[in-house]
Structure 1
Amino acid sequence: MILALANARKEKKRPAAILESDGQPLMRILHVISTLNPAAGGPTESVRVLLSYGPIGYTGEVVTLDDPKAPYLKEIPFPVHALGPFRTTYGFNTKLLPWLIQNRERFDGVVVNGLWQYCGIAAWRALSGNTPYVVFTHGMLDPYFKRAFPLKHIKKWLYWMPFEHRVLRDAYRVLFTSKAEKRLAEQSFRLHPWNPYVVPYGASGPTGDPEAQKEAFFKHCPQVRDKRYLVFLGRIHRKKGCDMLIDAFAKVAASDPELDLVMAGPDSQQWAAKLQQTTVRAGIAHRVHWPGMVTGDAKWGAFFGSEAFILPSHQENFGIAVAEALGCGKPVLLADKVNIAEDIAEDNAGLMELDTPDGTLRLLERWIAMTPEEKQAMAERAYRCFHSRYDMRENAKAIIKLFENATVPTPRLRS
């Protein structure tokens, strides 16, 4: 018995399951994520982008807890196994664990996207000691949440001790998008004996006709046609610093009366109405526009039509919209709590200030003070910055390389 346990603890090399395509071997990788709803934010977009790169060496599938009838699943070009719907934020689902056990041998590796949901514990139970899996934390271990939501942090501790830290402990790798995110993750909880790995991250660059894409956006937001504007594109959420941005814009509006502000994104917290009241009191309601969530060509058009992208967020492990703006050749105005802000400022492809009201005000003041020539030069550097740092194709290649060399450590004995 002792000898058997000792042998079981040894790492074993998992032979790659090869799928032939035009004579070239392809790896088969599964992504596990609770939802592919675009309104859920960055992780869903990253999965969609990663799985658009099959020709570079792998083929991918997704298992999700979405309702199979969800409209946003209809035109996805890769296989999606929708086992939902789920009705709680935790996302417990009786179908997921059996599905993973039944299908795990089909895949060379599995990417678990996000924390604090049943997807992680189901993957741990099904895959540990069998199929190599990595966990993409997507910024969910940032100590910002510990400070901003102390009661929620206590609840997470109750889940962390028996479950979540084991999901990370037994993963082949725990993936972070920057050295800053990796360092910050260790400040949230004790018990972090995971195997960290920093992968290049980014977004898919724009394709299509920029002029047609701008026209698609102007149909959503006709008020800014033929106008200069800055664009915020993301969730209308307190974490994103939207209130600071509105207040700061009100203070600088008179210094550049031709500049407007677009606040594009879903309003899950029902906060936009209160922010709009602020613009009315400040007398700038006609210069701040709320087109809601924009996707596809309209999203790219929002970037292409803007002068710059702005994100004064209190916490952002990466920010896919930041990379997308750079890919459109647009400078980015960022708070220092966006983890890639320092690298972008180093490339002089954008501006960085503190995630405070004064810092947000300085972002706008500095941008307004720049000459047209300086703005154009920064736009050119933004485009180069995207291609040198944030093309998501490099992220896909990194994940493939990880699984090519993956071993499967047998999990520790569980109670």
Structure 2
Amino acid sequence: MNILHITPSYKPAYIYGGTTVSISRLCEAQAHFINSQTIKNNKSANKVTVYTTTANGNEELDVESNKPILVDGVEVWYFERQTKDHTHFSMALLKKLFQTAQNFDAIHVHSWWNTVVIFSVLICILKGVKVIVAPRGMLGEYTLQSQKKSPKSIFHKFLGKKLLKKSYLHLTAQIEREEVDYIKDNRVFVLPNLLSIPINQNKIEKTNTQDKEDTNTFKLVFMSRIHHKKGLEILIEAISQLKKQNNKNSKINLQLDLIGKSESIEYQNSLQKLIIQNNLENKVKWIGWLEGNQKFEHLEKSDLFVLPSFNENFANVVIECLSTGTPVLVSDKVGLADYVKEKELGWVCKTNSIDSLLQTLEIAVNDKIKREKIRQTAPQIIQNDFSSQKLAQKYIEMYQKIKDTNQTM
């Protein structure tokens, strides 16, 4: 099967957070799966290709453009963009797609609200080519409400929905299904993100656990893109209140590590100001962006991961964190919230509620037995449920089903 993925950004543009990681991981796993199979037809017609831009925040990636580059087993075409903002307009990419769209068995387009995706979907529809759109949480109530009466909202009402109705939709979690109830069930597929999860991740050594008991430090960790939708203001306020309670009733030394990047210096400065206002300078540590082993080692050495987002279609980092054995606390608007509850891998609080987050934090901090159980069982559960090879095969089966259907665009 000849597969094309279209995305406004691709690695190493990690400034865009988990989306960059999960899309590249999906492409790599599919390429590996295809190469590992016995291919009866011409092998050159069975591969994974990516069309993307040189986007890297307000800058551009230092890569050769408009030519194929092999990136970890995947043929990637980077195209220069004419706009340096979130519109990511790239005439070269759209021209290439117009010339080649009919050469692929499956075209999988990622994200929404940018010209790369919207015009790519339009080109596929005009050329009668089936296209799969993965909106990645960009059609949620939080996003649409924040853009109410904006040009984007008007576009979505009069044209966006029409384009989506003529496409197939790939959702990464069931929570997204309610956001697109205008799409017929036979055009919707739910498959989780693929992630690079350490195999046989070592558990925390007893010496580390003993050190924690001796210092009586409870380490919270937040790891994601630094963005207002992540609920960081609520987290900081909740920690401030918990700190006051601890000063009166407990000797627990609560610490929070903030790991991630922000595209907005102004927003990051506003968080820093809030931390100072709540006298948390000694309780909150800015780590910056971590990758690879550094990321997993930091997650593993933490007591609890917290993600109180207002909207999160999947949340890759939740799976990455659980793969190390560290329990999680997420809001009920995180796509994996139901999974966390079903598998008993952590706690879920109400969205946009300091009281709920505070109460849930207290429960998690005090429930050492549950946290230890999660640390022992979570890595194997994640390995079983999120095997890259199994998921890569399911994606390809989805493509084949769409290819074989008689539905028209």
Question: Which TM-score band (shorter chain)?
Answer: 0.7 to 0.9
Aligned partners of 2:382, 2:24: CA distance in 1, in Å? 19
**1:339 offset after TM fit, Å?**
2.2
**Overall identity of the aligned pairs, in %:** 23
Give the equivalent residue in structure 2 for 1:350. 346
Matched residue of 1:82: which SS?
Answer: strand
Report whether the alignment pairs 1:70 with 2:57: no
Q: CA deviation at 1:75?
A: 8.9
Conservation of the 8 A alpha-carbon contact between 1:279 and 1:285: yes
Partner of 1:266: 261
CA distance in 2, matches of 1:382, 1:207: 13
1:264 aligned partner, one-letter code = I
CA apart distance, 1:193: 5.2
Supply the AA of the counterpart residue of 1:136. Answer: A
What is the distance in 2 between the residues matched to 1:64 and 1:97?
A: 10
Partner of 1:201: 193
Which residue of structure 2 aligns with residue 234 of structure 1? 224
Alignment partner of 2:132 out of 112, 134, 139: 134
Give the TM-score normalised by structure 1: 0.79
**1:202 CA drift (Å):** 4.6
In 1, Cα distance between equivalents of 2:62 and 2:345: 37
Please list the CA deviations of residues 350-402 of structure 1 after superposition, one character each: whole Å capped at 9, or x if unmatched.
1011111111112211111112x331102233224423434444432222001
Specify the SS of the correspondent of 2:252. Answer: coil
1:57 corresponds to which residue? 34
Deviations 1:84-114 (A, max 9, x none): 1332422222212220122224422111001
Once the two structures are superposed, the pairs formed by residues 41-120 of structure 1 within 5 Å of their partners are 41-53=17-29, 54-57=31-34, 59-66=47-54, 70-71=61-62, 76-77=71-72, 78-85=74-81, 86-120=83-117
Give the letter for the 2:325 counterpart.
Answer: G
The secondary structure found in structure 2 opposite 1:111 is strand
Q: Which amino acid in structure 1 is aligned with residue 278 of structure 2?
A: A
Partner of 1:370: 367
Alignment of 1:174-185 (within 5 A): 174-185=169-180
Alignment coverage as a number of residue pairs = 366
Aligned to 1:292: 288
Match of 2:8 in 1: 34
Distance 1:375 1:249 in 2: 19
Counterparts of 1:256 and 1:109, CA distance in 2: 57
The 2-side partners of 1:122 and 1:410 are apart by 22
Shift of 1:228: 4.6
Alpha-carbon displacement from aligned partner over 1:266-295 (angstroms, at most 9, x marks no partner)? 122332322223333333211211111222
1:277 and 2:291 aligned: no
Residue 179 of structure 1 aligns with an amino acid whose one-letter code is Q
Q: Which residue of 1 aligns with 2:39?
A: none
Greater CA deviation, 99-108 or 390-399? 390-399
Relative to 1, partners in 2 of residues 1:298 and 1:71: Cα closer, same or farther, differing over 3 Å?
farther
Equivalent pair of 2:216/2:253 in contact (CA under 8 Å): no
The one-letter amino acid of 1:121's match is: I
Question: Of 231, 245, 248, which aligns to 2:235?
Answer: 245
User: Per the alignment, in what secondary structure is the counterpart of residue 259 of structure 1?
Assistant: strand
CA distance in 2, matches of 1:106, 1:184: 32
Q: Distance in 2 between matches of 1:35 and 1:211?
A: 34
Please, what TM-score do these two structures have when normalized by structure 2? 0.81
In structure 1, give the amino acid aligned to 2:301: G
Q: Does 1:146 align with 2:137?
A: no
Q: Which has the higher contact order (CA 8 A, sep 6+)?
A: 1
C-alpha displacement of 1:160 = 2.1
Give the unaligned 5+ runs of structure 1.
Answer: 1-26, 213-224
Confirm or deny: 8 A CA contact 1:41 1:235 kept in the other structure.
yes
CA RMSD across the alignment: 2.9
Contact kept, 8 Å, 1:200 with 1:392, in 2: the verdict is no
Residue range with higher mean Cα deviation, 228-237 or 241-250: 228-237
Q: One-letter code of the match for 1:268?
A: E
Deviation at 1:192, TM superposition (A): 4.1
Partners of 1:170 and 1:281 in 2: CA distance: 50
Q: 2:227 touches 2:262 (CA, 8 Å); kept in 1? A: yes
Q: Which moved more, 1:320-329 or 1:88-97?
A: 88-97
User: Equivalent residues in 2 for 1:149-188 (5 A)?
Assistant: 149-152=147-150, 155-171=151-167, 173-186=168-181
User: Within 1, Cα distance between the matches of 2:305 and 2:137?
Assistant: 21
The aligned counterpart of 1:314 is: 310
User: Separation in 2 of the partners of 1:140 and 1:326?
Assistant: 25
Code of the residue aligned with 1:48 in structure 2: it is S
